[in-house]
Amino acid sequence: MNILLLHQYFLEDNDSGGSRWNEMTKSWTDLGHNITVIAGTINYAANEIPSEYKNKLFVKKKQGAIDVYRAHVYSGYNKSFIGRLFGYFSFVFSSLYVGLFVTRQKYDIVIVTSPPLFLGISAYFISLFKRIPFLFEIRDLWPESAIDTGVVTNKWIIKLSFLLEKFIYKKAKIINVLTPAFEKVLLTKKGIAKEKIIYIPNASDFSLSDQYLETFNVSAFRNENNYGDAFVVTYVGAHGVANHLEQILETAALLKNENVLFLLIGQGMEKQRLKEMATKMNLLNVRFIDPVPKADIFKYILASDVGCSVLKNVETFKTVYSNKTFDYMSCKKPVLMAIDGVSRELIESANAGLFVKPECPEDFKEKILFYLKNRPILIQHGENGYNFAKLNFDRSNLAIKYIEEIKNKCNLI
């Protein structure tokens, strides 16, 4: 198949962040499919556009076997909420231009992954003019998540967002949901027909983790980074309002007298404020680490004792799977899951970690101390998570299933 993917946050080769689609498209090209990606010029966590993209509507690049068009995004994307809206809509128009007038190849399907929801506009018009179906993937329920976290409060923006969501869901040939909870919401609250919905969740990339599990020198890495014999708790991901990383800092404050080290790896709008907060709290047991490439992320996880997944304690986040949870599981690390709902159910079903009451530092502390005192259970939970992910969330298997679902729904050979 020839596939056109619209993904504002598709990573560069050495970027950090959510790599679902970098891994998925690589799996598809390995299976013989042709992939073209229209992506943004600025990473969701970056503060400025790289110089090679400045003052250009688009730049064509090659990432492995994939053609990637980096289309213009407003430079003030990460400066404010208004800047972010300008960033979203600038990419809607630039991606639409590239999709209609620059990419001349004949495609079988357009895939768009959201958020941002607004990119569905580009997918719709490209599919309309090229006379091909489009698949809309929901990685996060938007605008609900933005409303619950207080990012969007204007009633007119909220109303228009729900109208746009309804329009896109109606026009999409297929809707892929990343969690069972998303499917339930679409069926019971959005009125979407079940036959339109497929379920291909986030997944574990075992191609790197299995390699490192056999060859990586954990002791050398820990010595190099001065971990000593500390119990290392690692968070990997965005540092934004939705993540509410204050709860990790507050937990660190409660564990000042224990040999516990917290690593916060990533970038986001809240990072500078969090660093200032940690300084004021005199948290010598917390380290902020700038984003690193995916291969290095596995090194940090393997050198840790546990991984943690956290989000703000709001209803919408009870429907999501944390992306990095699957990386922790693939590295045989138990998960401290400070997200209720389906993420909690995932960890408890796999017996792969401990649920932590969201935004409850006291409970966070107690769960860490439990693992400190019960190393055999910690190791067993890590093994359980690996085996469960291998059976149910192997990226290579899900990539094949995704293609088969598309072929069946669109009657493609």
Question: What DSSP string runs through 226-283?
Answer: T-TT-EEEEEES--SGGG-THHHHHHHHHTTTSSEEEEEE---TTHHHHHHHHHHTT-
CA dihedral sign of residues 149, 152, 155, 159? negative
Whether 245 has a pLDDT exceeding 90, the answer reads: yes
Query: DSSP class of residue 105?
Result: S
Per the CB < 8 A criterion, the answer to whether 318 and 335 are in contact is: no
Query: DSSP class of residue 12?
Result: P
**Range list for CATH 3.40.50.2000 in the chain:** 2-203+394-410, 206-392
Q: How far apart are CA 107 and CA 36, in angstroms?
A: 9
Higher pLDDT, 242 or 260: 260
Percent of the chain with pLDDT over 90: 73
The whole-number pLDDT of residue 14 equals 67
Higher pLDDT, 294 or 81: 294
The whole-number pLDDT of residue 404 equals 95
pTM, two decimals, is 0.87
At 12, the pLDDT band (50, 70, 90 cuts) reads confident
The whole-number pLDDT of residue 86 equals 85
In tens, the pLDDT along 31-46 reads 999 999 999 998 766 6
The CATH number that domain 2-203+394-410 falls under is: 3.40.50.2000
Q: What is the CA radius of gyration of the chain?
A: 21
Question: What average pLDDT does this structure show over 111-135?
Answer: 95
What average pLDDT does the structure give for the chain? 92
User: How many other CB atoms are found less than 10 A from the CB of residue 15?
Assistant: 19
Question: What average pLDDT does this structure show over 372-384?
Answer: 97
At 118, the pLDDT band (50, 70, 90 cuts) reads very high
The whole-number pLDDT of residue 318 equals 93
Angle at 365 between CA 234 and CA 374, to 5 degrees: 80
Higher pLDDT, 213 or 137: 137
Question: What average pLDDT does this structure show over 136-154?
Answer: 85
Whether 15 has a pLDDT exceeding 70, the answer reads: no
Task: Name the CATH superfamily housing domain 206-392.
Answer: Glycogen Phosphorylase B; (3.40.50.2000)
As given in the structure block, the two tokens for residue 232 are: 């290392």
As given in the structure block, the two tokens for residue 12 are: 């560069």
The whole-number pLDDT of residue 206 equals 87
Per the CB < 8 A criterion, the answer to whether 278 and 256 are in contact is: no
In tens, the pLDDT along 174-225 reads 999 999 999 999 999 999 999 999 999 988 888 888 888 888 999 999 999 9
Burial 175-206 (b: 16+ CB within 10 A, else e): bbbbbebbbebbeeeeebeeeebbebbbbbbb
Per the CB < 8 A criterion, the answer to whether 35 and 108 are in contact is: no
Q: How far apart are CA 67 and CA 72, in angstroms?
A: 16
Q: How far apart are CA 169 and CA 136, in angstroms?
A: 8
Whether 391 has a pLDDT exceeding 80, the answer reads: yes
Nearest Cα to 407, choosing from 159, 109, 156, 129?
A: 109
The whole-number pLDDT of residue 45 equals 61
Whether 53 has a pLDDT exceeding 80, the answer reads: yes
Least confident of 82-96, 109-123, 258-272: 82-96
SS3 call for 310: strand
Whether 144 has a pLDDT exceeding 90, the answer reads: no
The whole-number pLDDT of residue 171 equals 96
At 50, the pLDDT band (50, 70, 90 cuts) reads confident
SS3 call for 96: helix
As given in the structure block, the two tokens for residue 360 are: 């409850």
In tens, the pLDDT along 333-374 reads 999 999 999 999 999 999 999 999 999 999 999 999 999 999
